[in-house]
Amino acid sequence: MGMTIGEKIIARAAGVDVVKPNDIHTVTLDRMMSNDGTTHLTVDMYNNKLKHPKIADNKKVVFIMDHNVPAENPKTAEAHKKMRNFAREHDIALYEGQGICHQIMMEDYVCPGELIFGADSHTTTYGALGAFGTGVGCTDFLYAMTTGTSWVMVPETLRFNLHGKLPEGVYARDLILTIIGDIGANGANYKIMEFAGDGAHNLTIDERIVLCNLTVEAGAKAGIVEPDEKVVEFCQAHGRKAVHMFKSDEDASFARVYEYDLSKIKPVVVRPDFVDNFDTLEVVKKEKIKIDESFVGSCNNGRIEDLRIAADVVKGRQVHPNVRFLIAPASQAVYIQALEEGIITTLMKAGAMVMNTNCSVCWGSCQGVIGKDEVLISTGTRNFKGRAGDPSSKVYMANAATCAASAVKGYICGPEDL
Amino acid sequence: MANKVWKFHNDVDTDQIIASQYLLLPDIEAMKIYTFESLDPDFAKKVTPGDIVVASENFGCGSSREQAPSVLKALGIQAVIAKSFARIFYRNSINIGLPVIVCKDLYDHVEDGGTAELDLSAGTVTVDGRSFTCTKLPEYMQGILNAGGLIASLNKEED
């Protein structure tokens, strides 16, 4: 019996020829990433709970401060200090304010065929380059950092065959939100979501990031796009070599196969408070839902392609006086490129607030938090109750064009309504 | 001994268990008073050690924050029993030694505020004399739980 991409990656990491779903294997990890959401707790456990504290290979460990940077209160500042000091003491790569952890990992580390643990659920992002990235808690991270290994139960794989191209004005974000709407918030729980077919290969790496990043919102352990020439080029452009370009075997076994015609996908608006509370923009915009804030950013949708889309929509227009329009580029590299392309100027002239690169509004603990009963439309990763502020506030999820258009009109609408 | 049941719905996410703005507090003790704040601001005051959390499908979906199972454990929650769990929460719970138990039938037969008696070794939970069987954990994971969590298990391995 053949293997799927995810199974091949686990087999490689376990040093065995064949794995099958539900087997438990000890694996050697290629890399481990931790951010400021939990690292202070990991450091405490390292210092106080381990009998034999050690780091198996500090070159495989990356610390990235992105959730609350720069610190917004003295307690966060202390948590950051703990993380910073530990990184220096153990010679661990440390990024502070350089970008959202997953964007940094894509720019500087991820290679196809790797098995990567990240202490953040959206580690599934790395599948955009054909890697197996999965989110773990700080205890798992600590064990991995100490031993260089971990245990993995081999998940079943769901295969998504994508066909054709997305229509003009429809984006990868609409595609993945449609898929999650179809299969539900636990539709891929414990499973790998594998994307292949000509439609998958038509997507840019940025678009594949959007796809893989949100697979965890359907419960997936990993999201992986079958790697191709675009992955090789991306790795080369970032000074890395693509070595393990795994594809599923002809006779690989999938728990289920889905077919998606990309030309049929429409712009989506997900209503509060569940990620599978799916609707089309066409339907939602009839309700003229008033918004207080609009956000373009996050590890899902804060890359250059998203900022270009937002800037195109607001160019020569003004943000509605009742709306705060917030932008947070996903990394400094993205920010600089946006500056050079004049995108930041366009956004600011329209009245947007452009913030430093971090998780920002998406995680509700930094900038742009919303108050009682306020309504946010966002390109963030989640619309959970209270995710972006007060528990009574509401988060709608949509693509960058819809968020930008809604910021101009003051209610949920698309760029065609301006 | 029968313990009090706190019943929750489908898709309880980790932001509801412990919201983002508390995650960078110095430690779990400082965070635990905010457990389930958006659903019931007084939960942490009302809960007593040994109580059981019962939920429907996909409990713990969302982020990988280990603070979610950790605050429940710190409040003395004996176990979380649900129809199904989101995988990161499930794995984190086992890693920190918080029993997470899949039981398809319990949810529809127990009231919020009612009581249930959990027999971990027998793998059953009893409500009003009626017993429900829980899904067995794979041996490997049971081993981690029995050792008191992943770090305790690692310390033992390396001794």
CB contact under 8 A, A138 and B19: no
Rounded to an integer, what distance in angstroms lies between the CA atom of residue A213 and that of residue A381? Answer: 8
Q: Would you call B41 helix, strand, or coil by DSSP?
A: coil
Banded model confidence at residue A342, pLDDT cuts 50, 70, 90? very high
Provide the shortest C-alpha distance from residue A349 to chain B (in Å): 32
- Are A213 and A381 a contacting pair, CB within 8 Å? yes
Mean pLDDT of A236-264: 98
Q: Which of A404, A163, A77, A369 is nearest to A267 (CA)?
A: A404
CB contact under 8 A, A219 and B62: no
Rounded to an integer, what distance in angstroms lies between the CA atom of residue A148 and that of residue A174? Answer: 37
Domains of chain A: 5-263 (3.30.499.10), 270-417 (3.30.499.10)
Q: Which of B26, B51, B58 is nearest to B117 (CA)?
A: B51
Nearest CA in chain B to A364: B20
Nearest CA in chain B to A217: B62
Question: By residue range, what is the domain housing residue B128?
Answer: 3-158
Nearest CA in chain A to B139: A24
Query: What tens digit of pLDDT does each residue of A106-162 get?
Result: 999 999 999 999 999 999 999 999 999 999 999 999 999 999 999 999 999 999 999
Mean pLDDT of A315-336: 98
CB contact under 8 A, A185 and B61: yes
Q: What ipTM was assigned to the predicted interfaces of this complex?
A: 0.96
Query: What tens digit of pLDDT does each residue of A370-391 get?
Result: 999 999 999 999 999 999 999 9
In chain B, what residues touch A24 (CB-CB under 8 Å)? 138, 140
CB-CB: which of B15, B138, B158 is closest to A384? Answer: B15
DSSP string, A135-198: E--HHHHHHHHHHSEEEEEPPPEEEEEEES-PPTT--HHHHHHHHHHHH-TTTTTTSEEEEESH
Mean pLDDT of B65-90: 98
Mean pLDDT of A76-93: 98
Q: What is the mean pLDDT of chain A?
A: 97
Rounded to an integer, what distance in angstroms lies between the CA atom of residue A91 and that of residue A86? Answer: 8
Nearest CA in chain B to A220: B87
CB-CB: which of A121, A123, A386 is closest to B38? Answer: A386
Mean pLDDT of A262-271: 98
Nearest CA in chain A to B150: A139
CB contact under 8 A, A382 and B154: no
Which pLDDT score, from 0 to 100, does residue A351 have?
Answer: 98
Q: Which of B37, B39, B100, B102 is nearest to B73 (CA)?
A: B100
Residue B1 confidence (pLDDT) above 90: no
Query: What tens digit of pLDDT does each residue of B81-111 get?
Result: 999 999 999 999 999 999 999 999 999 999 9
- Determine if the pTM surpasses 0.90: yes
Q: The CATH number of the domain where B107 resides is what? A: 3.20.19.10
Provide the shortest C-alpha distance from residue B109 to chain A (in Å): 23
CB-CB: which of A151, A189, A369 is closest to B86? Answer: A189
CB contact under 8 A, B27 and A221: no
Provide the shortest C-alpha distance from residue B128 to chain A (in Å): 31
Longest dimension (CA), chain B: 45
What does DSSP assign to residue A27?
A: E
CB contact under 8 A, B155 and A139: no
Cα-based distances in Å from A141 to A37, A67, A117, B66: 13, 17, 7, 10
Rounded to an integer, what distance in angstroms lies between the CA atom of residue A74 and that of residue A76? Answer: 5
Rounded to an integer, what distance in angstroms lies between the CA atom of residue B133 and that of residue B105? Answer: 8
Nearest CA in chain A to B149: A139
Provide the shortest C-alpha distance from residue A324 to chain B (in Å): 21
Q: Which of A133, A70, A88, A87 is nearest to A106 (CA)?
A: A133
Rounded to an integer, what distance in angstroms lies between the CA atom of residue A399 and that of residue A392? Answer: 23
Strands of the sheet with B3-7, listed across from one edge: B100-102, B79-82, B52-55, B3-7, B115-119, B124-127, B130-133
Q: Which of B61, B57, B136 is nearest to B99 (CA)?
A: B136
Partners of A76 in beta bridges: none
Mutate which of B8, B9, B15 to disrupt the A interface (most A C-beta within 10 Å)?
B15
Total domains present in chain B: 1
Mean pLDDT of A58-74: 97
Rounded to an integer, what distance in angstroms lies between the CA atom of residue A279 and that of residue A266? Answer: 10
Q: What is the mean pLDDT of chain B?
A: 96
Residue B158 confidence (pLDDT) above 90: no
Which pLDDT score, from 0 to 100, does residue B157 have?
Answer: 87
Which pLDDT score, from 0 to 100, does residue A366 have?
Answer: 83
What does DSSP assign to residue A285?
A: G
Which pLDDT score, from 0 to 100, does residue A365 have?
Answer: 87
Query: What tens digit of pLDDT does each residue of B136-154 get?
Result: 988 999 999 999 999 999 9
